[in-house]
Chains A and B, each alone.
Chain A
Amino acid sequence: MLNDTHVWTAIALLGLGTWAIRFSFLGLIGSRQLPEWALRHLRYVSVAVMPGLVAPAVAWPAAAGGTLEPVRLIAVIVALLVGASMRSTLGAIIAGLAVLYTLLALVY
């Protein structure tokens, strides 16, 4: 069994700390105008974070034993192509999941 005090301390600190990270810039800068160079960098936050976030999960998926696996790779590529060409997040999610589960059903 886990120690109750430890678990509650971890939950409280993780909750507070996570909120502080989220609040940081939005809370402290607020309505002050950001300089152009900062805005230029901030425009790239989502394309800078999310591809890197998923890359290891695609290259070494834990559920597939940590090696590159064609079904998952194809599903991601389809999601990427559909999303980029249709400019649609919904289209990309549906296409990616449809391909993933169809291929998994066929292969296994």
Chain B
Amino acid sequence: MSRTPYQFRRGALNALPFVLMLVPFGLLFGVVATEAGLDLFQTMAMTVLVIAGAAQFSAVAVLADHGPVFVAVATGLAVNLRMAMYSAALVPHLGKAPLWQRALIAYGMTDQSYAASVQHYEAHPEMTLPQRIAYYTGFLIALAPIWYSATLLGALIGAAIPPAYALDFALPITFVALVAPSLRSLPHIAAAFVSVVVSLLLAFLPYNLWLLIAAVLAMLTGAEIERQMKRRVTHA
């Protein structure tokens, strides 16, 4: 049942719900980028090379404001710094893959591909490395073309799309949906709570610093509570 082609299809199937969010998000980016003054080729190059919606939006916002290039780049990179944590969290699962495969895995690392695959790997610890890679690849091959095409469509029809209300909100719902199934223990719930409270308190900070600080504090909270709970079990 868990052969490699099976895991590839499994990854592709598990990616499908995210189409609901990637289509409006990609459309929106296509519209916003063209309206900001990027031509079709530039819009598509950014979507294919960067493949990270939130960072693309923030970089384009700076460019549209005629801000300096380095500020646009730094703003986008700050939004993506959280992916260094995803990169580290994938090491125990995919670190043994050959270098060229890790380079490709890095290209396709997003909030969705990271969270969905780690969730799957943790639920199926018996998976072999090729099966894990197959799952990740299936997930990406299902989603990446949707992201590219949605952007293309948005850029082509541009302002013809009415400012559809609540398109903005498919994204938060997707992220909540990614995390909700892992809220299965006290350390997980405590970490999520700290993450929410700290990010709201520090939301005034620039360059996504609020998120990075909230994430580090939340991670420390989860790990510390897990350690305390284990200690209590061994001492009892």
Number of A-B contacts (CB under 8 A): 308
* Nearest chain A CB to B50 CB, angstrom units: 5
Given known pairs A62-B168, A63-B166, A63-B169, the reply for A51 and B181 (CB within 8 Å) is no
Query: Which residues in B have their C-beta under 8 angstroms from that of A41?
Result: 219-220, 222-223
Query: Which residues in A have their C-beta under 8 angstroms from that of B102?
Result: 23, 26-27, 30
Question: Within 8 Å of chain A (Cβ to Cβ): is B152?
Answer: no
Query: Which residues in A have their C-beta under 8 angstroms from that of B207?
Result: none
* Nearest chain B CB to A55 CB, angstrom units: 4
Interchain CB contact under 8 A, A47 and B183: yes
Interchain CB contact under 8 A, A7 and B171: no
Query: Which residues in B have their C-beta under 8 angstroms from that of A25?
Result: 84, 87-88, 90-91
Q: Which of B4-12, B153-161, B188-196 contacts A (4 or more CB under 8 A)?
A: B188-196
Majority secondary structure, B binding face: helix
Interchain CB contact under 8 A, A44 and B188: yes
Interchain CB contact under 8 A, A48 and B191: yes
- Once the chains are docked, how many angstroms separate the CA of A96 from the CA of B172? 10
- Once the chains are docked, how many angstroms separate the CA of A101 from the CA of B24? 14
Interchain CB contact under 8 A, B176 and A83: yes
Interchain CB contact under 8 A, A21 and B80: yes
Interchain CB contact under 8 A, A51 and B73: no
Interchain CB contact under 8 A, B80 and A26: no
- B-side residues, CB < 8 A to A, are 14, 16-18, 20-21, 36-38, 42, 45-46, 49-52, 55-56, 59, 63-64, 66, 69, 72-73, 76-77, 80-92, 94-96, 99, 102-103, 105-107, 109, 111, 114-116, 118-119, 165-184, 187-188, 191-196, 198-200, 203, 210-211, 214-216, 218-223, 226-227
Q: Would you list the 4 A-B pairs with minimal beta carbon distance, nearest first?
A: A83-B180, A15-B49, A44-B222, A92-B177
- A-side residues, CB < 8 A to B, are 1-2, 4, 6-15, 17-19, 21-27, 29-32, 34, 37-63, 72, 75-76, 79-84, 86-90, 92-94, 96-97, 100-101, 104, 108
